[in-house]
């Protein structure tokens, strides 16, 4: 569905992606993980055509993204941005209806199809009851779902999400990712940058670990989330165990400083959670 071939890209003289290749199968949920500045967002931006690689290419649905018009891309890949703030106070429904841009000609009025797609998207993202509210008055978690609804209104096979959980509380994190998960079950292909390794492991089929502009590992979470890979990616010592509740890998950051021993002891205590949340932000 989405393939990157030897993608190299520099921004402002700094090489952000260095010969990156990846493949994302149709109907899967893939998380891009890695430390800050690893190139996660940049990688997503090559998939939705916001950036063109200096070398290599990104192919979506059999077409090289660089050769497609904005409209053609927007019919293949819908994007949920990280920054969901909207400067102008459009009603939620109007924001979601903007997802239909690529399906309408300049002089065409909204068709019944367009209106149905918007209604379905509002429903699916659980924001129907917010439809007439100005988007500036809804909470951060709700706005995230509004942006997801906008992306759903695009009716694309692929969905790109940039840090969909970054600014959300635990409840909304799970709610958002469950929603994406169920969309994938229904046939969509999703690619998301996700900071939280535990959440990525729990909800995604595949992980793509990037560090320093390169792909460090790719595959199912249980194969990829090894102490070795995570330590190399994040430059910190970690312990990887299986979460007794979800049955998926859980990563505990131990840190690399002088208190490591200390932390190791605490991390094995039964009630302990990540002591410092070190691998987030």
Partner 1 sequence: MHRWRRLGAWCGGLAAALVVACLASVAYGAVDLSPVVVAKAALNAVAVPAGLSLAVSSVGVPALGQVPWLAPDVQYVHPFAFAVPQSAQTIVVQLRAPRVALAAVVGFALASAGTVMQGFFRNPLADPSIIGVSTGAAVGAVSAIVFPGVVAALPLLGLVPFVGSLQVFAFVSALATAFLVYLVATDGGRTPVATLLLAGVAVQALLGAVVSYLLIQAGESVDQALYWLMGHLSNASWNDVVVTLPLALVGFLVLAAYARDLNVLLMGEEDAHALGIEVERTKRVLLAVSTLVTAAAVSVAGVIGFVGLIVPHVMRLLVGPDHRNLLPTSALAGSVFLVATDAVARSGPTELPVGIVTAALGAPFFLYLLWSQEVRAL
Which residues make up the interface to partner 1 (CB under 8 A)? 45, 48-50, 69-71, 73-75, 77-79, 81, 83, 86-90, 94-95, 98-99, 101-102, 106-107, 150, 154
Nearer to partner 1, 52 or 222 (CB): 52
Q: How far is the CB of 161 from partner 1 (least distance, A)?
A: 12
Picking from 77, 33, 37, 79, the residue whose alpha carbon sits closest to that of residue 203 is 33
Nearer to partner 1, 107 or 271 (CB): 107
> Hey, what are 280's tokens?
């987030």
Please identify which residue in the block is written with the tokens 């690689």. 53
**49 neighbors 129 (Cβ within 8 angstroms):** no
For 169, 239, 245, 265, 276, the CA distances from 252, given in Å and listed in that order, are 20, 5, 15, 12, 9
Nearer to partner 1, 77 or 217 (CB): 77
Name residue 253's beta-bridge partners: 238
Nearer to partner 1, 183 or 207 (CB): 183
Nearer to partner 1, 99 or 221 (CB): 99
| Angle at which helices 170-185 and 140-153 cross, to 10° | 10
Q: How far is the CB of 154 from partner 1 (least distance, A)?
A: 7
Q: How far is the CB of 58 from partner 1 (least distance, A)?
A: 14
DSSP state of 102: G
**HSE-CB of 21 using CA atoms within 13 angstroms:** 3
Task: Please enumerate in sequence order all residues whose Cβ is within 8 A of that of 180, keeping only pairs 6 or more positions apart, or say none.
Answer: 29, 148, 159, 161, 164, 190, 192, 203
3-class DSSP state of 105: coil
Q: How far is the CB of 48 from partner 1 (least distance, A)?
A: 5
Q: How far is the CB of 209 from partner 1 (least distance, A)?
A: 25
Q: How far is the CB of 241 from partner 1 (least distance, A)?
A: 38
Q: How far is the CB of 1 from partner 1 (least distance, A)?
A: 17
CA 217 to chain centre: 17
Nearer to partner 1, 73 or 240 (CB): 73
Nearer to partner 1, 154 or 267 (CB): 154
**208 neighbors 31 (Cβ within 8 angstroms):** yes
State how far the Cα of 276 lies from the Cα of 252, in Å rounded to an integer: 9
């Amino acid at each position: 569905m989405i393939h990157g071939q030897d993608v190299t890209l520099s921004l402002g003289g700094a090489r952000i992606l260095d010969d990156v290749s990846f493949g994302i199968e149709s109907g899967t949920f893939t998380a891009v993980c890695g430390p800050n500045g690893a190139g996660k967002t940049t990688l997503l931006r090559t998939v939705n055509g916001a950036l063109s690689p200096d070398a290599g290419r990104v192919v979506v649905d059999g077409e090289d993204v660089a050769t497609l018009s904005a409209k053609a891309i927007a019919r293949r890949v819908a994007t949920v941005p990280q920054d969901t703030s909207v400067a102008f106070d459009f009603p939620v429904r109007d924001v979601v209806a903007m997802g239909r841009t690529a399906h309408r000609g300049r002089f065409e009025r909204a068709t019944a199809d367009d209106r149905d797609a918007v209604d379905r998207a509002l429903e699916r993202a659980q924001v129907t009851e917010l439809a007439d509210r100005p988007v500036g008055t809804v909470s951060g978690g709700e706005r995230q779902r509004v942006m997801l609804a906008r992306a759903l209104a695009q009716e694309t096979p692929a969905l790109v999400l940039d840090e969909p959980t970054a600014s959300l509380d635990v409840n909304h994190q799970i709610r958002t990712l469950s929603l994406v998960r169920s969309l994938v079950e229904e046939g969509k292909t999703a690619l998301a940058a996700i900071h939280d390794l535990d959440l990525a492991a729990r909800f995604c089929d595949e992980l793509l670990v990037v560090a320093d502009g390169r792909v460090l590992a790719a595959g199912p979470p249980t194969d990829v989330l090894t102490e070795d890979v995570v330590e190399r990616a994040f430059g910190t010592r970690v312990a990887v165990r299986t979460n007794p509740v979800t049955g998926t890998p859980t990563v505990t950051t131990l840190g690399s400083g002088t208190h490591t021993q200390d932390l190791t002891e605490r991390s094995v205590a039964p009630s302990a959670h990540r002591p410092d949340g070190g691998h987030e932000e």
